[in-house]
Chain A
Amino acid sequence: MINKMMKLKKRRTYAQQKEIMGFLYVLPWLLGFIFFFLVPLITSLRYSFSSIETNAEGLSLSFIGLQNYIEAILVNTSFNRILTESVIDMIINVPLIVIFSLFLAVLLNQKFIGRSIARAVFFLPVILASGVILTLESTSLIQAVNEQNAGSTGMLNAFSSFELQMIMLEAGVDESIVNYLTGAVDRIYEIVSMSGVQILIFLAGIQTISPQLYEASKIEGATGYESFWKITFPMVSPLILVNVVYTVIDSFSRNALTDLIRETGFTKFNFGLSSAMAWIYFICIAIILAISTYFISKRVFYYE
């Protein structure tokens, strides 16, 4: 009997053991995934199709079809506007953040005095710009007043982009491009504070590029500009996709739409409407991600 069991145990190959252990290792996550993600996700989908009433036994759901969605889009006064605003914001910000963080990563990778201090400062937004701190900061009266004062006395006037705008318009650059760029200059703090992790990812990517490539190109007579476009850019191009996705999901935590959805759910107790809003938002994000992934992954260069 014991011999037989031993034999049975022996017969389980290494590969089979691996399969079983693999399942065991993933099991904690799987349980959490089911109970803290999948079930709530399905429940929220169900909420979004029903009208919800609270009574003594808890919640009672009754199916009302697409009515919540219709209400969110056509009836609710602010949802429409805020949704378009946040989607447009995202579309405007994502390329800016990605380009800006790539540029800064290249800068911070060069050798200069005080590089480690500069790096420390640029990663500071990773730990600072999130959650409550950001919301409270925007309501800080002192800061607002100081900025006003500074503007009028001319101390921070260098930040205003009016001159730049005039120069570019004179030079015959298209007006929409000018507005886009000067808008970026005006929102520089927002962009800097949102690109900490992206700089980190690009910087790490640049540092894995083998120095031989640069050496060879230098011997062949390439300028710094050329070696950026022929070596650095193709080598980090897979990371552009990573950063685009990261930037999009990072914006979840800090936009007005999230606040609106929460408010509808928790202060007005309209769970159905709130869930419908959340689902519309998710679908928009999914579409944006799908489109950008499709276009970027077509152009990405893989070294292998």
Chain B
Amino acid sequence: MLLKKLISFEHWKSWLWSFVRFILILGLAFVILYPILQKVSTAIKHKSDLYSPIVVWIPQTFSLDNFTQVIQIMDYWETLFNTFTLSSVTTILTAFSCALAGYGFARLKFKGSKILFAGVILTILVPPTTILIPMYMNLKDFTLLGIIPLLTGKSVNLLNSYWPFILTSITANSLKAGLYIFIFNQFFRGVPKEVEEAAYIDGAGIGKTYWSIMLPNASPAIITVVLFSFVWQWNDSFYTTTYLTSSKVIATQLSSLPYNLSMNLQDGVASKADPFYQSMVQDTGILLAILPLIIIYLFVQRYFVESIERTGIVG
């Protein structure tokens, strides 16, 4: 009798906890999803539904007008292609160079490598705004230590090209690259020393050990870095709007979207545009910009936790 009561009390407690947990998670998930749902609902509305008092979430007349408008104004397909290329190229180069540096710092210690690693930490901690202006000036008159003026007679302007991104990613100094080096460093430090020694005894040099043993086994770290680097590059507006002012990538197109909208929606007379309608098309634009990411995310989200867990950041 007593035992039964105890069991039922425990049972009751765990049931209550699941209920509270369910409510909490549902509520917070709603908070996260709310803006997205709102955008979806706004995007599929027709213009006439905007002022209709009975329409809150589900539109009265469905229409894809907003989408056609935005696709045309943003030059969506070209923009998408450009952004995709830019993000993939920087991601691959960054992962490659950061893995190299991470391995060098973790396993191939040389005189002064500790001091240089402090430099990596410094790149993480210094706000990018601090070095933005000199970087800008540097890229505007890019001389590469005076080599380029020697060959062509004058410096080159690297702004508005992909070169700033390529150069910084080859040299592992792109957006948040310090963090990626740190991740790789932590991972390679966790690999047992015996693996390296065994490879050496079997006749593999350092380069061969790295390429055929270390790198293939580093897939958790590589996945983590690739995922984050791709997403952050895609969303980055800080560097992208500074280096690329007229190229068509998502970040620049989104930040100039409000202006383009007001010019386009009302035959070039900005003051005539209805701000409410403009906001509606703008929301559709944001939705279209993040849609590819969400689709990719649906397929790769399970790797997020799994790979972070195995990179050893936490160990």
Contacts and interface: CB of A to CB of B under 8 A. Distances in A.
A301 interface: no
A124 B130 contact: no
B116 interface: yes
Given A36-B168, A44-B133, A143-B38, A112 B18 contact: yes
A171 interface: no
Interface stretch (A12-20, A62-70, A172-180, A211-219): A12-20
Looking at chain A's contact residues, the main secondary structure is helix
Interface in B173-189: 173, 181
Interface in B236-283: 236-238, 241-242, 251, 254-255, 257-258, 275-276, 278-280, 282-283
Contacts of A41: 126, 130-131, 134
Interface string B16-59: 00100110110011011111101000100000000000001000
A127 B24 CA distance: 22
A104 B132 contact: no
B302 interface: yes
A130 B298 CA distance: 19
A122 interface: yes
A275 B133 contact: yes
A140 interface: yes
Contact of B127 (A40, A108, A278): A278
Contacts of A289: 125
B100 interface: yes
A162 interface: no
Looking at chain B's contact residues, the main secondary structure is helix
Interface string A272-292: 001100110110011001000
Contact of A29 (B32, B33, B173): B173
Contacts of A30: 116
Contact of B293 (A37, A127, A204, A252): A127
A123 B304 contact: yes
Contacts of A119: 301, 305
B286 A137 contact: yes
A256 to B, nearest CB: 12
Nearest to A31: B171
Contact of A130 (B128, B167, B232): B232
B170 A28 contact: yes
B111 interface: yes
B113 A39 contact: no
Contact of B141 (A58, A249, A253, A265): A58
A210 to B, nearest CB: 12
B42 A18 contact: no
B309 interface: yes
A10 to B, nearest CB: 14
Which of B35, B200, B232, B278 counts the most A-chain CB atoms under 10 A from its CB?
B35
B119 interface: yes
22 contacts: A22-B109, A26-B116, A29-B100, A36-B171, A107-B24, A116-B302, A123-B301, A128-B290, A128-B293, A132-B241, A136-B286, A141-B276, A141-B279, A192-B32, A201-B314, A204-B308, A252-B128, A261-B132, A265-B132, A265-B133, A266-B242, A278-B127
